[in-house]
Amino acid sequence: MIQSSARLAALPGYPLAELPAIKRKLIAAGRDVIDLGAGDNDTPPPRVAIEALKAAIENPANSKYGFQQGNPEFRRAASDYVFRRFGHRFDATTELVPLIGSKEGLAHMPFAFLNPGDVAIVPEPGYQAYLGGTVLAGVEPYVAALRPERGFLVDLEGIPAPVLQKTRMLFLNYPNNPTAAVAPLEYLEKVVAICRKHGIVLAYDNAYCDIVFDGYRAPSIFEVAGADEVAVEFFSLSKSFSMTGWRIGFAVGRSPLIGPLTQVKTYTDTGPFLAVQQAGAAVLDRAEELTAPICAEIARRRDAAVPALRAAGFGVDLPKAAMYLWVALPPGVSSKAFSRHALEAEGVLVLPGSAFGPAGEGFFRIALTVPPARLIEAVARLSKALVGVQAAGGVGAA
Ligand code: PLP
């Protein structure tokens, strides 16, 4: 019998697999389902992206392989965006690489830098591509729990010395998915100091840097002095411009760090579709103007959902960034049982905290992907779901 690899078997089930299948069945049965699962906004992509893609697709040269160099316009626009946003200039040719979505680049990082016996620190709850890339590369993950009492910041000082000695990579993501936490610059300074001391590559995932509220500004890791020596920073056009399915992002870092990632990619892919890169350049050149209405809309949704959740007895912070609410469940209520009941009984899809790893237990995640009125309706249903699941014993496998 053919068997899948031991590395694949070592991975937990992907969080977005089971609930959407139930959702499809409910919709087929005529039920109204409010989907707050995937971080995939309902807002359309910018007109400028669509027009640029249409024009680019008419040019047969854009139907060729892009290879890793890709479209020079995209590289130029990405480098300019980082410079405008954060004041750091990365050479468009040697210090930047286009990605088929930032997930692809993040998952390839361990292949570029790590060897068997090395350790990669993976935050939990967290975006599953970090664990996936680490385990598939045959590298040992060290799961670092994000705790509410520490502001969901990875406690690097709490990592045992023997683990730190073997650690060669740290994944970090602020503004954070799923907790929506943000990291103060002083914290990032400590992180960079530890990475430099121990020779750890810092894979800094800044997918949500443009989704910010109330005047908050998400920093680049390169605002910390010395980060150049250790960091690769990942940007995504998915959330900033509602372009999740277009599969376009990029990474920046000094060439000794970008080079190995690019080399891995030459063996596994041939770069994003050139016409999509052209559209990416068009939106990056107008990023500030295009992201402002998306932020304003997500803030409106946040401001509708947070008071409603609190009134319904759920514990939730008012996030400064990202597009999620990380909502605490009453003690003893299993997040998996709650999410399943919320979907099956009330037609609301939220992700259980445990889907982001065991340390996510006790919470569920709401993605602010539908308008305020729909969110208010969803919260009313979630409130009923909580009563229902508690009446049933609040139980179920965690
Ligand atoms: N990083 C984080 C933290 C995410 O939540 C996501 C998507 O949900 C990504 C990266 C991947 O984004 P992309 O669409 O660019 O692959």
Q: Supply the pLDDT for residue 398.
A: 43
> CA 336, CA 363: separation in Å to the nearest integer?
10
Q: Ligand 1 centre from 103 Cα, in Å?
A: 5
Nearest residue by C-alpha to atom 1 in ligand 1: 207
Q: With 0-12 CB in 10 A as exposed, 13-18 as middle and 19+ as buried, what is 331?
A: exposed
Q: Ligand 1 centre from 106 Cα, in Å?
A: 9
Per-residue pLDDT tens digits of the chain, which is 398 residues long: 999 999 999 998 766 667 889 999 999 999 999 999 999 988 999 999 999 999 999 999 999 999 999 999 999 999 999 999 999 999 999 999 999 999 999 999 999 999 999 999 999 999 999 999 999 999 999 999 999 999 999 999 999 999 999 999 999 999 999 999 999 999 999 999 999 999 999 999 999 999 999 999 999 999 999 999 999 999 999 999 999 999 999 999 999 999 999 999 999 999 999 999 999 999 999 999 999 999 999 999 999 999 999 999 999 999 999 999 999 999 999 999 999 999 999 999 999 999 999 999 999 999 999 999 999 999 999 999 999 988 887 555 44
Give me 265's structure tokens: 């990619």
* Cβ of 103 below 6 Å from ligand 1: yes
Q: Ligand 1 centre from 67 Cα, in Å?
A: 22
Per-residue H/E/C for the chain? CCCCCHHHHCCCCCCCCHHHHHHHHHHHCCCCCEECCCCCCCCCCCHHHHHHHHHHHCCHHHHCCCCCCCCHHHHHHHHHHHHHHHCCCCCCCCCEEEECCHHHHHHHHHHHHCCCCCEEEEEECCCHHHHHHHHHCCCEEEEEECCHHHCCCCCHHHCCHHHHHHEEEEEEECCCCCCCCCCCHHHHHHHHHHHHHHCCEEEEECCCCCCECCCCCCCCHHHCCCHHHCEEEEEECCCCCCCHHHCCEEEECCHHHHHHHHHHHHHHCCCCCHHHHHHHHHHHHCHHHHHHHHHHHHHHHHHHHHHHHHHCCCECCCCCECCEEEEECCCCCCHHHHHHHHHHHHCEECEEHHHHCHHHCCEEEEECCCCHHHHHHHHHHHHHHHHHHHHCCCCCCC
Q: Domains of the chain, with CATH numbers?
A: 6-31+289-391 (3.90.1150.10), 47-286 (3.40.640.10)
> CA 203, CA 208: separation in Å to the nearest integer?
15
Q: Supply the pLDDT for residue 397.
A: 44
Cis peptide bond N-terminal to 46, omega within 30: no
* Cβ of 102 below 6 Å from ligand 1: yes
* Cβ of 181 below 6 Å from ligand 1: no
Q: Mutation test of ligand 1: which of 176, 238, 244 has the most ligand atoms closer than 8 Å to its C-beta?
A: 238
Is the CB of residue 222 less than 8 Å from the CB of residue 88? Answer: yes
Q: Mutation test of ligand 1: which of 108, 127, 365 has the most ligand atoms closer than 8 Å to its C-beta?
A: 127
Q: Mutation test of ligand 1: which of 41, 97, 102 has the most ligand atoms closer than 8 Å to its C-beta?
A: 102
